[in-house]
């Protein structure tokens, strides 16, 4: 008789503990994904801000007469992915530094990664990932890409990086703005 009473009670306790453990795992995954997304945005924003404030030239081949503020660049054959921004400056020892930001496909998804390629005097010196899991789909309200580089206004004084990262069902968007230094 005691066993018949203890067995259902033990079953309820085990089920409760199992349910709590399952919820903790789900919560941890959510927090991990959120932190990963925020880290990706911060890394992309930090590189973008650092490079843009050094830049003397922001390449923009967008010659359209409409009011678009989107930045367009010619594609460099040595750079992997679709280029979205090219920054250039001359450093203290007269080396010409060019930074190419390009979007590259992430295998098996519709997401992209933001690649940063550095050239010094025309030779590629370094390539690395500035941001991962970026959503470049078109926003149905603004008809702009969720991740994009653009000018803040028609005076073309300040460059804006809008970065949207996606992890699981959640997406996070941040804006980073930087003013290139004056041409010397």
Q: Where are the beta strands (DSSP E) in the chain?
A: 57-59, 82-90, 96-105, 112-120, 123-134, 148-151, 159-167, 170-178
Q: How would residue 66 be classed by pLDDT, with cut points 50, 70 and 90?
A: low
The number of folded domains in the chain is 1
24 inside domain: no
- DSSP tag of 70: B
117 inside domain: yes
Q: How would residue 65 be classed by pLDDT, with cut points 50, 70 and 90?
A: low
134 inside domain: yes
Q: What is the pLDDT of residue 64?
A: 60
Q: Which range marks the domain in which residue 80 is found?
A: 31-178
6 inside domain: no
7 inside domain: no
Q: What is the mean pLDDT of residues 100-109?
A: 86
CA distances from 181 to 86, 88, 156, 177, 184 (A): 15, 11, 13, 13, 9
Looking at the DSSP assignment, which residues form a beta bridge with residue 33? none
Residue 51 pLDDT greater than 90, yes or no: yes
25 inside domain: no
Q: How far apart are CA 171 and CA 166, in angstroms?
A: 4
């Amino acid at each position: 008789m005691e066993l018949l009473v203890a067995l259902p009670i033990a079953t309820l306790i085990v089920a409760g503990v199992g349910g709590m453990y399952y919820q903790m795992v789900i919560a941890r995954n959510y927090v991990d994904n959120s932190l990963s997304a925020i880290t990706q945005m911060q890394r992309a924003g930090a590189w973008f801000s650092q490079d843009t404030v050094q830049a003397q030239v922001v390449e923009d081949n967008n010659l359209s007469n409409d009011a678009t503020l989107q930045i367009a660049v010619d594609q460099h054959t040595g750079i992997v992915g679709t280029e979205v921004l090219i920054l250039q400056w001359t450093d203290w020892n007269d080396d010409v530094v060019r930074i190419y930001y390009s979007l590259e496909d992430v295998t098996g998804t519709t997401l992209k990664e933001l690649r940063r390629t550095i050239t010094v005097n025309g030779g590629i010196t370094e390539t690395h990932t500035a941001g991962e899991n970026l959503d470049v789909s078109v926003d149905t309200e603004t008809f702009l890409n969720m991740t994009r580089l653009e000018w803040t206004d028609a005076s073309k004084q300040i460059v804006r990086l809008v970065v949207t990262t996606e992890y699981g069902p959640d997406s996070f968007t941040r804006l980073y703005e930087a003013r290139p230094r004056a041409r010397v």
